[in-house]
Chain A
Amino acid sequence: MMVDPTSERPLLGRQLTRVFGEGEMRTTALNEVSIELERGQVALLMGPSGSGKSTLLAVLSGLLQPDSGQVMALGQDLWKMAEIQRERFRLKHCGFIFQGYNLFAALTARQQLEMVVRWGEGGSAKEARRRANEMLTLLGLGKKAHLRPSELSGGEKQRVAIGRALIKDPEFCFADEPTSALDWAHGEQVIELLRNAAHERNATVLIVAHDARIIPYVDRVYNLEDGCLHENEEEGRAEEPHDHTGRNGNASAPLPQHTLRRFLQ
């Protein structure tokens, strides 16, 4: 099976249905949902709790099998692959960010990133260290590479988690409630980083969140309610540049966007 990295719509979900439970407990999380995500764009998936947002993210990212429907990722049917192939696909093309940071308490910020290079790609210790240092510098954590999670703030921890997701330079980046544990200043930084990943790295970014303050930062907004998906075309701000200094308002924690852009060029 060949991947098609040039596809403009690298991630397509068609008629996706996923049901949980049986009998009276039966819940339809996804009801024939179809979605197309574009390269270089950030898509935001919103909806009330239990609306199936995370389920859709899991199905699209190869973590949770749908009951029916198809996910085409880079031209491949994700759910027709063998599990080992899907695992390799995720290894090569997918980055994930979750709500709770989920960093190893014993390891430094650098080691959290190195681990992905060494264990995932079989990279040498030297190579892993170099890439981890570069990524942490881009994320504004160059001087904190030696610190463990307990010595980092919530925002810094989430930036390390973003670094862990992006160090592979993935085609897709899936973020499930990446800002819900952060105050808005730090949450905004996180969203900016994900936006940069899409716009500068040409990655396809899907964010699941219910914080409406994210809306101005993304290219497309989808609403999922009772298992049905609607695109909210007025709210997406595709290609429109942002005034970071104005909105960020946090001079002590500057966004590393300029460094990221330099690296990406």
Chain B
Amino acid sequence: MDFDSWAFPGIACAYNNRRGNLAARSGGSRTPGAHCGLATGGRVSEIVVESVSKLWGATKAVDAVSFTAAAGQLLVLLGPSGCGKSTTLRLIAGLEAASAGRIRIGGRDVTDLPPAQRGLSMVFQSYALFPHLSVAENILFGLKVRKVPATERAARLQRVASLLGLDTLLERRPSQLSGGQQQRVALGRAIIAETPVCLMDEPLSNLDAQLRQDMRREIRGLQQKLGITMVYVTHDQTEAMSMADQVILLRQGRIEQDAAPAELYARPATTFTARFIGTPPMNLIALADGAAGAVVRGSDGPALFDDKGDGLLAGIRPEDIRIAERQGVPARIVTVEYLGADSVAACTIGDQPIAVRTPGRLNLKPAAAVSLLWSPAALHLFDAATGRRVDDDRLRRVRDRAFVASA
């Protein structure tokens, strides 16, 4: 997926102009850290997590998880609540002690080091701002603790404040700020440390939808501009897809899939991934053996492809399906949800539900009979028992022998 199309290089420094003439600035330099004067001192750190586990009593919150965040990369830990993504982040931060495994940051084993010595900063879901301190004091807290000289502190505060558009808010208390401004202060406190690694624990979940979209771009812009290695925890797959270089999908403390966003979308390795990514997610339809090939279970044809169907799940993305007058697989409309740019129709084939996403407004009444079509390339297959994607050779064979084809 190409991020350059929206990751405006000038966005972070030009924040003040955002309401004004961002477009005019967006042709700026894209060298990391070049025109902001803020950088990580040339140190870029890769994060290596090696079969790390965390046990709470008998429960495995994190179960032998291994992954690598390359230097300067934005890695997203994605998953439903309780999947261990926040715990994994806290293990990297050193806020929890790992029960097993090693964690290395920039080649240095930090498993047994306290958080402050790991060379990282963190933004908390609730921001964790000190409510009695002004914005400036909040941002400077760490520098004061580390006894950075006052003149350097002032200079760094100045840079961070203008970078984040906080110049006029420095004397305010957190309670006098809006949610988005508080978020910026938390970001400021993280980046003023100029650490090569920044951890984010669902930083946008307390913001409204519009602001969330703006901040997504801003954080991504900052991360690229400053050349930080970032580990970002979220349960929101849109955030993951739009921001990440690499996504790690977690489920019950284990890695379900570790891939780039495009790969995650195009080749989900399991039914869990298939159900998690996409809005609405991929349809998974149980198949059965029919007379002429595999049919949708509970229907009497037509055959989708010339092979056995029992024990398989067909995966088809809602946006890959077209509604046709005839030729395709007969289905029945259950409801139609109109979303503006497109409509999502919930249908059934036999006893299997299937969602269809079509552009524009769909004028079909519930119980209407329709015909569904998709191209062979849109078909994915999963083993119903293990939930795993069938291997490529078999999938290619099946796609070659598909009957339902998009005209």
Do they bind each other? no
